[in-house]
Amino acid sequence: MRFRPFLMAAGLFCASTPGLASPEVSFLSGAFRNAVYKSNDSTSFSTTQFGAGLRYADRIDGPWYWYAEGALELINYSKSAAPIVPSNTANLGLGGGIRYYFDKLSDRVEPYALASGSFRSEQIATSVTNGYTETDKNGLYYRADFGIRISLQKEFFVDFEVPLFDSALFATEKDTTADFSGEGTKSSSEKQRIELFAKSTGSFNGMNVALGYRF
């Protein structure tokens, strides 16, 4: 069952959720993208993407917070000269974790650290010479981030987060390569990943920016 790891994780998370004390909500992402890919000077295919993500957080005690978040991205591929195109997809991410706030640097600037786990189901296609590659990920992942919160007003704030590592706990990743030659052909390979270590993602790789509101 494709979503079984997520259902297990969601059950454990909900069972351990504390009562509400100081709730806040953040708008993690919101995007519309349109891209046109060319191969040999002719348009091969185009993509249209819509995405949105939200995070809900509440205080546990003192500088400790718990949070839950979700993100959804819809991707549509339109064929032009290409004989085949990637499959239309809906990318889903659901998870949660804990946040710890360090001493404030000033009245409006506050550093913190995050640790989280999430279920991800996503397909990402990348254009290559005379074809494309498509990566399908499905499973449980865990990560840690370092962030800075800047208070804009009493209620509004913006968070900047840099991932320290992002690893697969139990995940399946499938790579598909498409060749536009002739009528178009596909070949694929699949691997199972279990990573019980902190795999660095590199400095400022995939920074998160979130605009939030305190209740």
The residues spanned by each domain of the chain are: 4-214
Give residue-wise pLDDT tens across range 109-118.
Answer: 999 999 999 9
Averaged pLDDT for residues 4-16: 45
Question: What is the DSSP secondary structure assignment for residue 200, as one 8-state letter?
Answer: B
Give residue-wise pLDDT tens across range 98-150.
Answer: 999 999 999 899 999 999 999 999 998 887 777 788 889 999 999 999 999 99
Kindly give, in sequence order, each residue whose CB lies less than 8 Å from that of residue 75, ignoring residues fewer than 6 positions away. Answer: 47, 48, 49, 88, 89, 90, 91, 123, 125
CATH number of 4-214: 2.40.160.20
* Residue 70 to residue 56: CA distance in whole angstroms: 9
Kind and range of the H or E element at 4? Answer: helix 4-15
* Residue 79 to residue 81: CA distance in whole angstroms: 7
